[in-house]
């Protein structure tokens, strides 16, 4: 109601992206929407409600807290928790038929204990360590894991069998990723020998789906591409045949806007903001925008970022403050207080993209998006 900036999310752009992803994966592949990190900054609950209205009913999160939020908003959606689940959250997950990753014996035994106490089945996804060296069972442990599951099948349901690739977006990692693919194939052979039949085999993320299509099984976990972003420029180039131009295959969902809070006229030689990082090279007119690093606009964009006002680029002058930034509008006619300011998005044929932040700073797309605070209102547009 009184916020200093707002985010808009396009439902039609999402429909376009989902259509492309589903075509890429082919028939019989279930799409799981990865919405960790506040739906990559797009707003967890608003985003999943929009996705659900567009036919997406399976969501992967990292934490139990995220799963809890979605379950309250969409009781009928299927959920996977890929990260931490302590005893309390396991109790809640099993009680509510929420699926979760298991990547060590302690968690597997705890899931059995809680499921037997509740007299319900724990719906688990076994994660295999294939080279990410983060979480997952080693290949050498799988036979024991499978035997444990079979012995306790009254309370454990093997819903999924998964791994995660370490850098499928780049050819620099090709040897490592192919070694992972081979190890996961070995793990699947052991699974076949065990006679266990999980509902889903899954390893493909956005980058693997594009660069290693052989990893597409009967489920994919897609994060960044559903939001309209390529995993990196290299993946776009490989898909587009050495072209860096986004051909419209994916559409960005998000726009971020604010208003001109006030105008300030300064003289040549004046310093702007904290310290002495910017000195006016001429008499100037500055617009003050009520957005800063507390709102997810990185301090690393000081003296390098740009916004759009009245269809023109306005460069940042000085250091991005906690709650405000200053931009040069000397070259823009008739700027007024309360004029619209585009931080991300388009205005009068010009665009400030999330990718442009990567060019102007050291931020990745993922980093900028997930740093956008929860309390910026997200509005869903058609």
Q: Which ranges in the chain are annotated with CATH 3.20.20.10?
A: 11-240
For the chain, the C-alpha Rg in angstroms (whole number) is 24
Q: Which ranges in the chain are annotated with CATH 2.40.37.10?
A: 254-352
Q: What is the pLDDT of residues 147-192, one digit of tens each?
A: 999 999 999 999 999 999 999 999 999 999 999 999 999 999 999 9
Structure tokens at 228: 């309209």
340: Cα separation from own chain's centroid: 27
In which residue are the tokens 């995660």 written? Answer: 164
In which residue are the tokens 């797309």 written? Answer: 365
| pLDDT of amino acid 242 | 63
What is the set of active-site residues?
Answer: 36, 274
- Which residues make beta-bridge pairs with 128? 137
Distance CA 103, CA 117 (A): 22
| pLDDT of amino acid 354 | 80
Residue 245 pLDDT > 60? no
Known binding residue 322? Answer is yes
Is 78:58 a contact under the CB 8 Å cutoff? yes
Q: What is the pLDDT of residues 70-123, one digit of tens each?
A: 999 999 999 999 999 999 999 999 999 999 999 999 999 999 999 999 999 999
Residue 339: band (very low, low, confident or very high) from pLDDT cuts 50, 70, 90: very high
Phi, psi of 335 (to 5 degrees): -70, 135
pTM of the model: 0.93
Structure tokens at 121: 């089945």
Residue 2 or 147, more confident: 147
Phi, psi of 222 (to 5 degrees): -110, 125
Rounded to the nearest integer, the mean pLDDT of the chain is 94
Mean pLDDT of 319-345: 97
Residue 365 pLDDT > 90? no
Is 98:67 a contact under the CB 8 Å cutoff? yes
Say if domain 254-352 classifies as CATH 3.40.50.300: no
DSSP per-residue string spanning 121-154:
-EEEEEEB-SS--SS-B-GGGHHHHHHHHHHTTT
Q: Which of 103-117, 199-213, 238-252 has the lowest mean pLDDT?
A: 238-252
CA angle, residues 361, 227, 41, in degrees to nearest 5: 60
Q: Which of 59-68, 313-322, 350-359 has the lowest mean pLDDT?
A: 350-359
Q: What is the torsional sign of CA 235, 238, 239, 244?
A: positive
Residue 283: band (very low, low, confident or very high) from pLDDT cuts 50, 70, 90: very high
Kind and range of the H or E run holding 89: helix 87-95
Is 360:306 a contact under the CB 8 Å cutoff? yes
Q: What is the CATH number of domain 11-240?
A: 3.20.20.10
For strands 306-309 and 312-315, give the pairing: antiparallel
Q: Find all residues with CB under 8 Å of 58, minimum gap 6, and list them.
A: 30, 31, 32, 33, 77, 78, 79, 80
């Amino acid at each position: 109601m009184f916020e200093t900036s707002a985010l808009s999310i396009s439902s039609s752009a999402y429909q376009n992206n989902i259509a492309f992803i589903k075509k890429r994966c082919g028939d019989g592949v279930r799409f799981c929407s990865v919405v960790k990190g506040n739906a990559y900054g797009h707003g967890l609950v608003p985003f999943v409600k929009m996705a659900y209205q567009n036919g997406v009913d399976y969501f992967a999160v990292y934490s139990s807290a995220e799963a809890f939020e979605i379950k309250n908003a969409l009781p009928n959606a299927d959920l996977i928790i890929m990260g931490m689940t302590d005893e309390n959250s396991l109790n809640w997950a099993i009680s509510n038929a929420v699926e979760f990753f298991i990547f060590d014996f302690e968690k597997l035994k705890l899931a059995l204990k809680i499921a037997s106490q509740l007299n319900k089945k724990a719906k688990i996804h076994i994660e295999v360590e294939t080279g990410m060296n983060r979480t997952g069972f080693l290949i050498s442990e799988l036979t024991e894991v499978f035997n444990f599951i079979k012995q306790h099948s009254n309370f454990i349901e093997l819903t999924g069998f998964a791994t995660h690739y370490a850098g499928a977006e780049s050819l620099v990692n090709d040897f490592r990723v192919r070694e992972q693919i081979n190890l996961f194939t070995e793990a699947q052979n052991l699974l076949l020998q065990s006679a266990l039949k999980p509902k889903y085999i899954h390893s493909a993320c956005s980058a693997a789906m594009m660069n290693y299509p052989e990893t597409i099984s009967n489920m994919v976990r897609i994060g960044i591409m559903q939001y309209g972003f390529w995993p990196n420029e290299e993946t776009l180039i490989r898909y587009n045949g050495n072209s860096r131009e986004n051909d419209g295959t994916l559409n960005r969902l998000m726009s971020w806007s604010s208003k001109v809070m006030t105008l300030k006229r300064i003289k040549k030689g004046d310093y702007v903001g904290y310290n002495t990082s910017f000195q006016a090279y001429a008499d100037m007119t500055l617009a003050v925008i009520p957005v800063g690093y507390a709102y997810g606009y990185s301090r690393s964009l000081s003296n390098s970022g740009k916004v759009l006002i009245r269809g023109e680029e306005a460069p940042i002058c000085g250091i991005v403050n906690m709650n405000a930034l200053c931009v040069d509008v000397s070259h823009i006619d008739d700027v007024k207080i309360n004029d619209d300011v585009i931080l991300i998005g388009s205005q009068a044929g010009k665009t400030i993209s999330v990718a442009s932040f990567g060019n102007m700073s050291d931020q990745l797309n993922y980093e900028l998006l997930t740093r956008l605070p929860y309390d910026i209102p997200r509005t869903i547009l058609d």
